[in-house]
Amino acid sequence: MKAGAFDYVRPQSLAEAIQLRGGGRDTQLMAGGQSLVAMMNLRVAQPELVIDIGRLSELRTVSETGADVSLGACVTHAAIEDGRITDPSRGLMPRVASGLAYRAIRTRGTIGGSLALADPAAEWPTVLSALDAQVALRGSGGARALPCRDFVVGTYETRLVADEIVESIRVPKLSAAARWGYLKFCRKSGEFASSIVAVVRDPQRRYARAVLGAANGAPLVLVRTSELLAGAAQREVLETAIAADLDAAKDRRFDDFQRSLHAVIAQRAVQQALA
């Protein structure tokens, strides 16, 4: 299981990386490499040129305003786990990070890399959607920002176009009244989940969102459930809403087991957020 041959370049700036990305060769960006190198070792990814952006300081900055925290795309899961970056999520992000794969993966893997890969069983796309985060993209055509909720559109599919690179992720700060729930269902510590639910409820902003991950595609916002959570809903009503949201997602083709599992995990995550 050795990778096929490829060329390697380490650009000195984000602008240079964008140029290389748009240069016409079959390229892959490498941030932490924890997913890419595994795929290359298995020869399911065989780029001509690997563009190593993992050391670009432009992608590792962290900045803070009164309302939000911006993390560079190449901030590692371990940095978030260890609390080395200001946490806008009142403990949710460090909690998510600490359960992601294994420590030796977390020291290299990055939040931007995870979002850009859009593995259906990955944690960050689901959690960042629940947190109403924004992703900043930069390409040769300029910079733009999208809600994370809209960024991932399918299995390994995002709204990145042409030579765009994920630059940073801006997470609104949760108020002191905010509560969250987070559950990842897996049989073995660190493996890919069969169901992920992230629920964020911030009464001060009248904001609530419940998102389902490992949902056979992009993270699925549980719309009806989220609407009810923004108010003051009772348990049974929420359970019905969860069921309705899952039933409405016919294109996801959940089998019986997935359907019942997602419902249970969503119910439990919602209860966490209401506790």
Partner 1 sequence: MTAAVKSRFGVGASLQRKEDDRHLYGRGQFVADVKLPGLQDIAFVRSPHAHARIKGVSAPPDTAGQVFSARDLPDLKPMRAVPQVPGFRPSGYPAFATDKVRYVGEVIAACIAPTRAEAEDLAATVGVDYEVLPPVVDAAAAAKGSSVLVHESWADNLFIERTIQGGDIEVAKREAEIVVQREYKLHRQASVPLEGRGVLAYLDRRLDELVVYTSTQVPHTIRLGLSEMLGIEERRIRVIAPDVGGGFGGKARLSQEEVAVAALALAVDHPVRWIEDRSEHFLAAIHCREHLYRMTAYADRRGRILGLDAELVVDAGAYAMWPNGPFLETGMAARNLPGPYNIRHHRVKTFTVATNKSPIGPYRGVGRPGACFAIERMIDEVARAAGRDPLEVRVGNMVGPDQMPYKSVTGMTFDNGDYPQCARMCADLLDLPAVRARQKQGEPDGRLIGVGFAAYAEQTAHGCGEWVTRGAPFIPGYESCQARLMSDGSLVLMVGIQSHGQGLETTLSQVAHQELGIDPAKVSVRHGDTDIAPFGMGTIASRSMVMAGGAVARASRLLREKMLRIGAHLLQADPKDVRWEDGAVAGPSGTVRLEEIARIAHLRMEQLPDGVDPLLEVTATYEPAIDTGVFSYATHAAVVAVDPLTGLIEVLDYGVAEDCGTVVNPMIVDGQIRGGVIQGIGTALYEEIPYDDQGQPLAATFADYLMPGAAEMPAIKIAHLHTPTPYTEYGMKGMGEGGAIGPPAAIANAVRDALGPLGAELNETPMTPRRVLAAIRTARKRT
Partner 2 sequence: MSQVRLTVNGKTVADDVPPRLSLADFLRERRNLTGTHLGCEHGVCGACTVLVDGEPARSCLMLAVACDGREVQTVEGLDKDRIATALREAFKQHHGLQCGFCTPGMLITARDLISRNVATSEREIRKGLSGNICRCTGYTNIVTAIGHAAKALAGGGGE
Identity of the residue, 62 or 261, whose beta carbon is nearer to partner 1 in the bound complex = 261
Residue 5 near partner 2 by CB under 8 A: yes
The partner in contact with residue 185, picked from partner 1, partner 2, none with C-beta cut-offs of 5 to 8 angstroms by kind, is partner 1
Give the Cα separation of 2 and 42 in Å (integer). 7
- Tokens for 173? 């700060």
Residue 30 near partner 2 by CB under 8 A: yes
**Shortest approach of partner 2 to residue 102 CB, angstroms?**
3
Residue 1 near partner 2 by CB under 8 A: yes
Residue 43 near partner 2 by CB under 8 A: no
Residue 159 near partner 2 by CB under 8 A: no
**Shortest approach of partner 1 to residue 185 CB, angstroms?**
6
Instruction: Name every residue whose Cβ is closer than 8 Å to that of residue 150 and which is 6 or more positions away in sequence.
Output: 159
Q: Identify the CA nearest to 35 among candidates 132, 136, 105, 127.
A: 105
Residue 52 near partner 2 by CB under 8 A: yes
Identity of the residue, 38 or 62, whose beta carbon is nearer to partner 2 in the bound complex = 38
Site map 65..104 versus partner 2, x via CB under 8 A: -------------x----------------------xxxx
Residue 253 near partner 1 by CB under 8 A: no
- Residue of 41, 65, 140, 204 that binds partner 2 (CB under 8 A): 41
The partner in contact with residue 101, picked from partner 1, partner 2, none with C-beta cut-offs of 5 to 8 angstroms by kind, is partner 2
Residue 40 near partner 2 by CB under 8 A: yes
Binding residues for partner 1 (CB under 8 A):
1-5, 42-43, 185, 187-192, 194, 256-257, 260-261, 264-265
